[in-house]
Amino acid sequence: MDVKLKKFIKKYNDVFETIDNGKLRCTVTKHELPSRLDDVKAYVETKKFKELYGLQQLMKKYEDAFEDNNDGTVTCQISGAKIAKKPGDIERYLKGKKFAQALEKVKKEMKAAKEVEEKSEDEKVDVEMETEDEVPMLVASEEEESEPEPVKKPIKRKAATIKKTPTGRSKKKKLSSK
């Protein structure tokens, strides 16, 4: 393989692999092409390669954020949005307001969860220190002794009856409230 070709292929991070008969195979599109610099340059400029390579790079960069649906769409794990599996659409979504708001919400939740975890660890250490000194006494609280409140049953309502008009169309009959 030519030195110039190797340098050119190196730009595309393991996208091309050499196969048995001296040809190159694109791992993105599964396309086989001769190992000549001008052919590879021409192939890299094609619309299909550009789109799939851009998509591969985005999915590699944001692999935790998106899940492939295998139907031409991806689902955002952060906001739950379904996006077309095209680099332009994904980039537009990543720059959009909905993604930014969902990302802020997730960051706040993670921060709050981390604080709660730290507090629980601190309390756990405090409780362990107290249990070594004292023996806990089991005392029933007033809430446990009281009887539970009866559950209220939902009110059952009659379904609207359907009456046919002379033209044959269905019409709902209004129920009078009693």
pTM to 2 decimal places? 0.55
Parse the chain into domains and list their residue ranges. 1-61, 64-130
Q: Is 163's pLDDT higher than 80?
A: no
Query: Helices then strands (H, E): number in the chain?
Result: 6, 8
Choice among 2-11, 41-50, 92-101, 118-127 with the minimum mean pLDDT: 118-127
Amino acid at 52: L
Q: Is 158's pLDDT higher than 70?
A: no
Q: Is 81's pLDDT higher than 80?
A: yes
State the Cα–Cα distance between residues 95 and 87, nearest whole angstrom. 12
pLDDT at 46: 92
Cα torsion angle, 94, 100, 106, 110, sign: positive
State the Cα–Cα distance between residues 103 and 63, nearest whole angstrom. 15
